[in-house]
Amino acid sequence: MSKVMNVNSSLAYEILLYLNSFYLGMFFVCEVAMGILKACNANYPENALMTEAGIFGLLFIK
């Protein structure tokens, strides 16, 4: 006879929410670091850097 197990779906959801907060923070830090490296090492027109700074700002607000 097979044993039926009830899986608490809210536990899986809680774990995903916890991991999402960690990965979102790491994604934001990596994006900012890459933007700073691009601004220091690559030659871009000034308006392109301002556009990227605006995108970073929107990422932070969202």
In a domain, 19, yes or no: no
The whole-number pLDDT of residue 12 equals: 79
Q: How confident is the model at residue 50 (pLDDT cuts 50, 70, 90)?
A: confident
pLDDT digits (tens, 9 = 90+) for 11-49: 878 888 888 888 888 888 898 898 888 888 888 787 888
Domains in the chain, number: 1
In a domain, 11, yes or no: no
Write a three-state SS string for the chain: CCCCCCCCHHHHHHHHHHHHHHHHHHHHHHHHHHHHHHHHHCCCCHHHHHHHHHHHHHHHHC
User: How many Å apart are CA 18 and CA 29, to the nearest integer?
Assistant: 17
> Residue 3 pLDDT more than 80?
no
The whole-number pLDDT of residue 20 equals: 85
In a domain, 15, yes or no: no
Range of the domain at 47: 28-62
Q: Which of 1, 57, 5 is nearest to 31 (CA)?
A: 57
pTM to 2 decimal places: 0.57
In a domain, 43, yes or no: yes
Burial class (CB in 10 A: 0-12, 13-18, 19+), 37: exposed
